[in-house]
Each structure stands twice: as C-alpha cells, then as structure tokens.
Amino acid sequence: MRGERWAWVDVDLDAVRHNVRRLAEVAAPARLLAVVKADAYGHGAVPVAEAALEAGAHGLAVALVQEGIELRRAGIEAPILVLSEQPAEQVPDLVAHGLVATVYTIPYIDLLAESARGVDVTNVEVHLKIDTGMHRVGAQPGAAVELAGRLAARAPQLTVGGVFTHLSSADSPDSDETDRQLAIFDKVLEDLRRAGHSPELVHVANSAGTLAHPRARRDLVRTGIAMYGIAPDPALDQLCRDLRPAMSLRARVSLVKTVRAGDGVSYGLRHRFSEAARVATVPIGYADGVPRRLFGTGGEVLIRGRRRPIVGVVTMDQLMVEVDDDVSEGDVVTLFGVDEFGECIEANEWAARLGTIGYEIVCAVSARVPRRHSP
C-alpha cells in the first residue's frame, strides 16, 4: 500500500545505544544482558537488539522461545537467554536455535538433555534460576545443590553457564527485601561452591537493581526498562537523569474544526465547551494503545512544542484535542516521548495519570502502529 497511516512510533536507536553505554558504565565490571522480550518492550526486538549489541551488550534476554528464534533468524549470534522454563513442545526449537535455557526443575533438565541428544547437539548452555523470595519462577533455595548435581550428571549435553535470581522490590529504595533476597542467594552460591559447582556467570539485577543496588551487580546485569530510557519507578528518577527516552508515539492532525459554546465532543459529549473553541482530531485511539481513560485524568499531547489537552473520551481509532489558531491539518502530534522542540511527555507521566507503570504504557502500543527506527 502506498503511504502510511498518520500514526507511528519513532524509535531513537541512538538513545538505546546511549542508554546501554551508560548502564554498562554503572554496572562495570559486570557485563550487560539487554532484555528485549515483548518485542523489546514495544520498541522492535531486532533493531533494538542490534543497537544494544553495537553499544557493547554481552547478550540478550527474552521471555519466549519464539522471541529468541526471531532474533536468530535476523542473523544475531550473541547469547540469548530465555528467562523461564518453556512448554515441552518448544524445547527442541530452543535447543536447535542455540538459545540459553533457564532451568529450575528436574523434568525440564531431563527434557533439555534428551532434546539435545535428539537433534545431535552436544552442548546446551543452561542457567539455574533460584527463587529467593519473589515466588514467580525458580528453584527453592534448598533444592539448588540437587539440581546442580542433576545438571552435572547430564554433561556433556548440558553446561551450566550461570546461576541467577530476580528481585521483587528493587524499585522500592526503602524496602529491605533486596537485602533479604541477596542474603538467601549468597547462601545458595556458598552451598553450590561447597558441593563443587562454580558456574561462570552469577546475575541478579534488573534495571532497578543495577541502578539502585550496587551489591546486586554481579557478573551480569539484565536491564530492560532503563535501556529504553524509562525509570523503573519515579523513586529512581534521579538515577535515570542521564538516560534518554527511546520511544515517541506520534500522529498527524487529520482535521481541525471550530465548535460553538455549549457544544460537546466525542462519545457521550463528556467534554463541553463553555466558549467557542478549535478542536483537532488525531487519528490514533485505544486500539493503538492510547488508553480510553487518559481523558479525565488530565491527559495532554504536544503540538508545535506546546501541551494541548485531550478533550472527550479517546475512541478506538481517534481522539480530539483543544488547540489554538496555530495548529493545522498535517501538524505532528507527540502523544508521549520527545518532540522536535525537545519538549517531552514521559511514558511515566501517562503511567502516573493511569495508576500504572511506564512498562505497561510502552508495551501497550499495538502492532497496528508502524515503528520507524532511526539509523
């Protein structure tokens, strides 16, 4: 089809490279795994992965086997860690594509070893995941030595490349939960050492751990959200001031009209104008990831370097904003991100309005919105 719709995402890969370098400096001598699950938090997995590797990332991490395969098909040869155990039917693909498996149960370890034999692979790298308190996935601390023993028994098909855990509360600077988890994890490492197991890579920290908890920076850090220039929590804003937002959600004004005093706008006419006003229509809506309730929470957009209020509920494909005489059809609208004047609406500003986190804002931008990547 000729031309693109008047709504798109700009992804600034220079910002990604800059953020990776900054985070790597903070984490050094630890190396960095760039977390590119969920299509790189909506930014586009392949271009972001390539940018992160160019900027010095040691490897990548994904949630799904399919996500790892997408990267391999793009020609990426760096280590790719799949962050949790996956359905049995996908294990042969995981092995065949040389992905690094996360393990925490005996049956899964056996399955991996059998698959490796089945496709004639002599060496699948695995990382052992320990649950130190988040209670999402991982082996219980008391089971670590037994699992390490089973892994050793499954050599040479399986090689243990690492041991890791995940922090539940690293983004809450006042919580003592991170110290508690680190203590449990260090005890597991000690038990493993005593039993004769010494995996090469020990890792703990997500973005918040990397920025706020120096003791969590071990051999490797696993950074996601901060690499995209978004603070994991407003409490960490200061630690993120050198990072640059990579995603900007944009559209073009599709229609401008004048409404009279007393007129309303959008479904239910929930916004009424007390005086005559100019209203611009922007062809992007909740099916694109702009939450319907952004209206009613003070939601604004940037046009020509100035904030303009959203008026009326966001509809599926379009929303309306109140503007002045300076705005006309075709003008670029920045919904969040950085505009051409350097003005910024952070994803976290939307998150604060909506009672959620910046992660959910960027991940919600739907596949219907084309991504444009800077070189």
Ligand X SMILES: *Cc1c(COP(=O)(O)O)cnc(C)c1O
Residues belonging to the active site: 37, 267
Percentage helix, strand, coil for the chain under 3-state DSSP, each rounded to 5: 35, 25, 40
Distance CA 145, CA 149 (A): 6
Select from 172-180, 221-229, 249-257, 347-355 the region that touches ligand X (CB under 6 A): 221-229
Question: Closer to ligand X at the Cβ: 203 or 271?
Answer: 203
> Which of 58, 127, 166, 373 touches ligand X by CB under 6 A?
166
* Closer of 206 and 266 to ligand X (Cβ): 206
Considering the complex, state which of residue 70 and residue 300 has its C-beta at the smaller distance from ligand X: 70
232 binds ligand X (CB under 6 A): yes
Site string for ligand X, 70-89 (x = CB under 6 A): -------------x------
Stretch that binds ligand X, among 3-11, 224-232, 330-338, 363-371 (CB under 6 A): 224-232
Q: Which one of residues 127, 222, 308, 371 is an interface residue with ligand X (CB under 6 A)?
A: 222
Q: Kindly indicate which of the ranges 222-230, 233-241, 249-257, 327-335 contains the residues binding ligand X, using the contact rule CB under 6 A.
A: 222-230
Q: Which is nearer to ligand X, 69 or 226 (CB)?
A: 226
Contact pick of 206, 281, 334, 348 for ligand X (by CB under 6 A): 206
Pick from 23, 24, 26, 35: which binds ligand X (CB under 6 A)?
A: 35
- Token readout for 32 is 């960095």
**Shortest reach from residue 132's CB to ligand X, in Å:** 12
CB 170 → ligand X: shortest distance, Å?
8
Instruction: Tell me the window of 120-128, 154-162, 192-200, 205-213 that interacts with ligand X (CB under 6 A).
Output: 205-213
Window contacting ligand X (CB under 6 A); options: 138-146, 192-200, 220-228, 329-337: 220-228
Binding mask 336-375 for ligand X (x = CB under 6 A): ----------------------------------------
For ligand X, give the closer residue by CB, 37 or 308. Answer: 37
Contact 337, 249 (CB under 8 A): yes
Scan for tokens 């966001």, then name that residue: 314
224 binds ligand X (CB under 6 A): yes
Residue nearest to ligand X (CB): 224
Select 170 or 345, whichever has its Cβ closest to ligand X: 170
Rounded Cα distance between 219 and 217, Å, is: 7
CB of residue 105 to ligand X, shortest distance in Å: 16
Decide: is 207 part of the binding site for ligand X (CB under 6 A). Answer: yes
Residue in 7, 139, 202, 225 binding ligand X, rule: CB under 6 A: 225
Size of the site for ligand X (CB under 6 A): 13
> Cβ distance 34 to 60 under 8 Å?
yes
Closest CA to 176 of 215, 218, 231, 202: 215
Residues that bind ligand X (CB under 6 A): 35, 37, 83, 166, 206-208, 222-226, 232
